[in-house]
């Protein structure tokens, strides 16, 4: 004899299956859903109600665990940074490892352009803050990006030697990040570099090595050149140019 199921039986079975299919806490579900929503829609266009609905939670849970929407947004940034940076935080601040750290930093930037999962969250959050800043834009950018840029600056200074200027450091940092900004907004550039819009892991590694070699080449060109010697070099070059005329 075939048993028939009522709509109530089906709903109860689906509910039981859903509960058995996940062992994540309410806080974990809220964080994962919020990260995806904020990255997709930005702070202003993301509603707490929508996050709670997708996370199977109530609004009171957001207030309890995060202190509200702004608090949740701050924790999402922590979550995004953790996934984007990963193992680079474990590197020692020794001179021998600066180049390895730089390679890992560049690799994180490369992967963030093409990843669609958690590693892409930070890049997408930053993009949203640029196009439509949140009410706490200054706070999250200062807390999460400034330390990373400061760390990069510190390592570049150590690699480029005692005669490097603040202007040269600033230009180097801008040059590093501009390469990845161009890839983010220019799809044709990505397609010209790689067979598909998203490179294979091997292609991404190869691209990272090339960018790293480019950056290291610039560092070597500047490292150890005192300002006086740099001026003398320029004067000699200008004199040679005048003689050719």
Residue 111 pLDDT: 74
The Cβ of residue 171 has, within 10 Å, a number of other Cβ atoms equal to: 13
Residue 245's pLDDT is 60
11-47 burial by CB neighbour count: b if 16+ within 10 A, else e? eeeeeeeeeeeeeeebbebbbbbbbbbbbeebbeebe
Domains of the chain by start residue, with CATH: 87-244 (1.10.357.10)
**Which residue shows structure tokens 């690799």?**
107
* Helix/strand/coil (H/E/C) assignment for every residue in 115-136: CCCHHHHHHHHHHHHHHCCCCC
Picking from 29, 133, 12, the residue whose alpha carbon sits closest to that of residue 79 is 29
Reading the chain (245 residues) residue by residue, the pLDDT tens digits are 434 434 454 344 344 434 444 468 999 999 999 999 999 999 999 999 999 999 999 999 999 999 999 999 999 999 998 887 654 444 444 445 788 888 888 887 777 777 777 878 888 898 888 889 999 999 988 888 888 888 899 999 988 888 888 999 999 998 888 887 777 767 777 778 887 777 888 888 888 899 999 999 988 888 766 767 667 666 666 666 666 66
What per-residue confidence (pLDDT) applies to 166?
92
Burial 121-133 (b: 16+ CB within 10 A, else e): bbbbbbebbeeee
Determine whether 112 is exposed, middle or buried from the number of CB atoms within 10 Å of its CB (0-12, 13-18, 19+).
Answer: buried
* Distance, CA of 161 to CA of 224 (rounded, Å): 5
pLDDT of residue 4: 41
| Structure confidence at residue 242 (pLDDT) | 61
- Please indicate, yes or no, whether the overall pTM of this predicted structure exceeds 0.75: no
pLDDT at 46: 97
* Model pLDDT, residue 229: 67
């Amino acid at each position: 004899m075939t048993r028939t199921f009522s709509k109530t039986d089906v709903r109860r079975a689906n509910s039981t299956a859903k509960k058995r299919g996940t062992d994540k806490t309410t806080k974990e579900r809220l964080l994962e859903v919020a990260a995806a929503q904020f990255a997709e829609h930005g702070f202003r266009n993301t509603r707490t109600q929508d996050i709670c609905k997708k996370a199977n939670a109530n609004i009171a849970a957001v207030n309890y665990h995060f202190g509200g929407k702004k608090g949740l947004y701050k924790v999402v940034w922590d979550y995004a940074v953790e996934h984007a940076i990963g193992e680079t935080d474990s590197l020692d601040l020794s001179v021998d490892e600066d180049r390895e750290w730089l390679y890992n930093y560049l690799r994180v930037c490369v992967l963030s352009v093409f990843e669609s999962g958690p590693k892409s969250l930070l890049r997408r959050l930053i993009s949203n803050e640029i196009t439509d800043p949140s009410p706490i834009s200054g706070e999250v950018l200062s807390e999460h990006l400034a330390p990373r840029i400061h760390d990069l600056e510190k390592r570049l200074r150590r690699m480029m030697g005692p005669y490097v200027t603040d202007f040269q450091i600033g230009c180097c940092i801008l040059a590093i990040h501009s390469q990845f900004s161009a890839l983010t907004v220019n799809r044709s550039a990505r397609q010209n570099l790689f067979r598909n819009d998203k490179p294979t892991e091997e292609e991404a590694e190869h691209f990272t090595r090339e960018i790293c070699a480019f950056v290291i080449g610039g560092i070597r060109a500047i490292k150890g050149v005192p300002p006086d010697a740099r001026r003398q070099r320029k004067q000699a070059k200008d004199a040679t140019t005048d003689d050719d005329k």
